[in-house]
Amino acid sequence: MTTQGWDLLVRRSDLHETKIAPTTAPEPADGEVLFRVESFALTANNVTYAVAGDQIGYWRFFPKADGWGCIPAWGYGVVEASAHPDFAAGDRFYGYWPMATHLLARPRRTKAGFVDEVAHRADLPPTYNQYVDAPADAPLQDQRSLLNPLFMTGFLLDDLLSDNGHFGAKSVILASASSRTALCLASLLKRAGQVKVVGLTSPRNKAFVESLGFYDQVVLYDDIADAPVETPAVLVDFAGDTAVRTAVHTRFGDDLAYSCLVGITHWEGPRDMGELPGPTPTFFFAPDRIVKRRQDWGPGGLEERYAAAWDRFVADTPRWLTLKALDGAKALQGAFLDVLNGRNSSSEGIIVRP
């Protein structure tokens, strides 16, 4: 048996160049399972995966040849064919899938789902290789695809900041305040109420950011030099825009207690920072924090704390998030270029159904 499908491929040296590549999925060999990708979210997070694909290894999860790459995405997959005794057709899981119709995996069953033990993923961050059971009747599934990985990053950032007493800061400044990961962190900081939450954004997104109620203060990028921000301050940079980061460091200098680089939503600008006033920016890699907290908190400790925070956050999302479903390869190809070029809205969540 062979199964026809497609992959969305991106030229690794030029993310604007994409193509739909027809595929033929083979019948699974012993111990293998063929999954049909049911749906996944398309967000600016996927752009970060592509921009940092070589640096962090995201291209290696679903490797392609000749300078092309397949971008990972979070969503749901269903067993289409199985040569593994622990998996049956129709079994459904949430996890890390290719932007494609199918994934051939070598899964090992776990209590919660499975781990893909295909050889080329063995030395990649284990967080991305773990899949969890996903009953079809579970609530808020599209919201999970869109926001769960982003909220986890926000949760871990909030944990890092609070674990360090917010580095003595009175304000936490979030660059690219309209990005969803920034919104996740802002909601947690606002709920805790221990620091002033300051959002840096563009004129286009200012009204949306202000409407959320997650930020105590919203500042336009061009106004950062003179905005009355309480110090000491911490910068959490979701934009990866060298000019913005330089402006913040120049403005605050030694009054900047900590500087953290998380995402690369402004991916086309130069990324060579050179020397900056104040602290050296530190790159935040969520899987490392997950490993630390699982060790610190023991079995189930991270998951229990995260679930409580997630339930509060996701219950509020219908207030500001509208879902948009797209079907098929061509719709995905166009939507990816929109996200890549910053033409999407943070108030609209894109779910792709291959």
User: Which residue reads 């086309």 in tokens?
Assistant: 268
Distances (CA, A) of 73 to 42, 43, 44, 123: 7, 9, 11, 19
Q: Which residues, 6 or more positions from 110, have their beta carbon under 8 angstroms from its beta carbon?
A: 130
Bond into 232 cis (ω within 30): yes
Q: Where are the domains of the chain?
A: 3-138+321-353, 150-288
Find the angle CA(131)-CA(136)-CA(138) to the nearest 5 degrees: 85
**Using CA atoms, how far apart are residues 187 and 155, in angstroms rounded to an integer?**
10
Structure confidence by residue, pLDDT tens digits, 98-129: 999 999 999 999 999 999 999 999 999 888 99
Beta strand pairing call for 282-283 and 256-261 = parallel
Read off the pTM: 0.85
Ramachandran sector of residue 182 (left: φ over 0; alpha: ψ -120 to 50; beta: rest): alpha
Tokens of 35: 């999954």
- Model pLDDT, residue 264: 57
* Burial per residue of 263-272, b for 16 or more beta-carbon CB atoms within 10 angstroms, e otherwise: bbbbbeeeee
- Model pLDDT, residue 266: 44
| DSSP state, residue 51 | H
- Model pLDDT, residue 96: 97
Strands of the sheet with 217-220, listed across from one edge: 217-220, 196-201, 171-175, 233-237, 256-261, 282-283
Alpha helices in the chain (DSSP H): 44-51, 53-56, 141-163, 180-192, 206-212, 242-252, 286-297, 301-314, 329-340
Class at the top of the CATH hierarchy for domain 150-288: alpha beta
Quickly name the fold that domain 3-138+321-353 has.
Answer: Quinone Oxidoreductase; Chain A, domain 1 (3.90.180)
- Model pLDDT, residue 275: 82
Residue 276's closest CA among 241, 319, 234, 246? 246
Q: Are 332 and 306 in contact (CB under 8 A)?
A: no
CA 170, 175, 177, 180 torsion-angle sign: negative
For the chain, list residues with pLDDT below 70: 1-2, 263-274
The string of DSSP codes covering 11-23 is ETTEEEEEEEEEE
